[in-house]
Amino acid sequence: MPRIRRGIGWTLLCVAGAALLLHARVRAQPANANANANANANANANTNTNANANANTNTNVDAQRPRINHVLIISEDGLRADAVDSLHLHWHEILRKHGVWAAHAKTIRDASTLPAHASMLSGVLPKEHGLTWNNWRPHKGYIQTPTIFTDAQEHGLTTAFFTVKSKLRHIVPPGTVGTYQRPGYLCKKVAEEAAQYLTSEKPALAFVHFSDPDESGHSKGWMSKQQIHAIGDSDRCLGILYEALEKSGLIEDTLIIVSADHGGHNHVHSGAKLIDRAIPWIACGPGVREDYVLEDELSTMDTAATALYALGLPIRPEILGKPRLDIFEAPKADIK
């Protein structure tokens, strides 16, 4: 059982993580002489700017950053938050059990696929990133702001982008990711190919997009019998990725964020209703609290800032999202 195996491994990892944190704090506090020194300074500055109530502004935030070498963001297109809350989805429940669930996560007001994903992956609103339409229009070019992928690449990190929909290409100007792939339309194919790539190439930052819930939502209705079946498929696809990370050992130093671009009602998602904007948001990985619910509001733009923070990268001042330091366990180093 993954849950049992994970439970034991996770306990050991937490113990090891606490020891590492203690060590890092004792050893590295004054010099902070690691490759991320510049990134850390910026991350701290941004944390202070955003006045994140959860940040400890009197200590070196990066000294508390768990050892995360990979971030995997999985977006399940059109997956409503209440679907994950109510449908007892096996793999989502495993991640929630071993991670953090945001009870009030919202996408942007323009709750459509391209603008919302662009905000999730850039940390800024459509008026800044410029992707205000929702289909593939090659003549309109690409996103107007940097994304977490450009940030990662500028700092020498490897990246990968797996999507179902060609319109998401607008978020990825040529040369800004290590690999960009559209393996197929159903999530099984996407998950299998992404899993193979992630475990063989081990990119630092990866994005994987499933669209089964959205397709059936538009054709058969949100929370229809058919969409619930498609959500079950999406859950199994999440399991393909999770098991691949577990078998390869990557789970030990990977932060996984599971979210969506929007919800929906009837056959649409305009963003006018909260049910269109309420999205699932689960974080799971080294140093992340287990079985913990974040009660305050979380923006989809926080995904970008949290991913950058987790990788030790600078968070540019124009990013509106906040690094969600509250997903992490309180630093064990406070125990003198």
* Residues that contact Zn ion, how many (by CB under 5 A): 4
CB of 74 to Zn ion, least distance (A): 14
Instruction: Closer to Zn ion by CB, 110 or 214: give it.
Output: 214
Q: Is 122 in the site for Zn ion (CB under 5 A)?
A: no
Query: Which span (73-81, 102-110, 124-132, 174-182) binds Zn ion, by CB under 5 A?
Result: 73-81
If one asks whether residue 261 binds Zn ion (CB under 5 A), the answer comes out as yes
Identity of residue 120: M
> Which stretch, 21-29, 49-57, 257-265, 293-301, contacts Zn ion (CB under 5 A)?
257-265
Number of helical H runs and strand E runs in the chain: 12, 10
Q: Which residue number, 40 or 75, has a Cβ lying nearer to Zn ion?
A: 75
Mention every residue, 6+ apart, whose C-beta is less than 8 A from residue 256: 71, 72, 74, 95, 99, 242, 245, 282, 283, 284, 285
Q: Is 302 in the site for Zn ion (CB under 5 A)?
A: no
**Segment near Zn ion (CB under 5 A); pick from 43-51, 120-128, 216-224, 253-261:** 253-261
Closest contact distance (angstroms) between CB of 264 and Zn ion is 8
Considering the complex, state which of residue 276 and residue 326 has its C-beta at the smaller distance from Zn ion: 276
77 binds Zn ion (CB under 5 A): yes
Gyration radius (Cα) of the chain, Å: 19
Q: In the complex with Zn ion, which residue's Cβ is closer, 214 or 235?
A: 214
Taking the alpha carbons of 244, 248, 249, 255 in that order, is the dihedral positive or negative? negative
Label residues 175-207 b or e (16+ Cβ within 10 Å = b): ebbbebebbeebbbebbbbbbebbeeebbbbbb
Cα–Cα distance between 271 and 277 in angstroms, integer?
A: 6
Closer by beta carbon to Zn ion, 62 or else 77: 77
Give the distance from CA 100 to its chain's centroid. Answer: 12
Q: What are the phi and psi torsion angles at 249 (to 5°)? A: 85, -5
- Give min distance, CB of 322 to Zn ion, in A: 23
Give min distance, CB of 112 to Zn ion, in A.
Answer: 6
Measured distance CA(332)–CA(212) in Å, rounded: 41
Q: Does 62 bind Zn ion (CB under 5 A)?
A: no
CB of 118 to Zn ion, least distance (A): 12
In the region spanning residues 209 to 228, those forming contacts with Zn ion, defined by CB under 5 A, are 214
Q: Which is nearer to Zn ion, 113 or 159 (CB)?
A: 113
* Closest residue to Zn ion, based on beta-carbon distance: 113
HEC string of 193-213 equals HHHHHHHHHCCCEEEEEECHH
CA 289, CA 99: separation in Å to the nearest integer? Answer: 6
> Which residues here bind Zn ion, judged by CB under 5 A?
77, 113, 214, 261
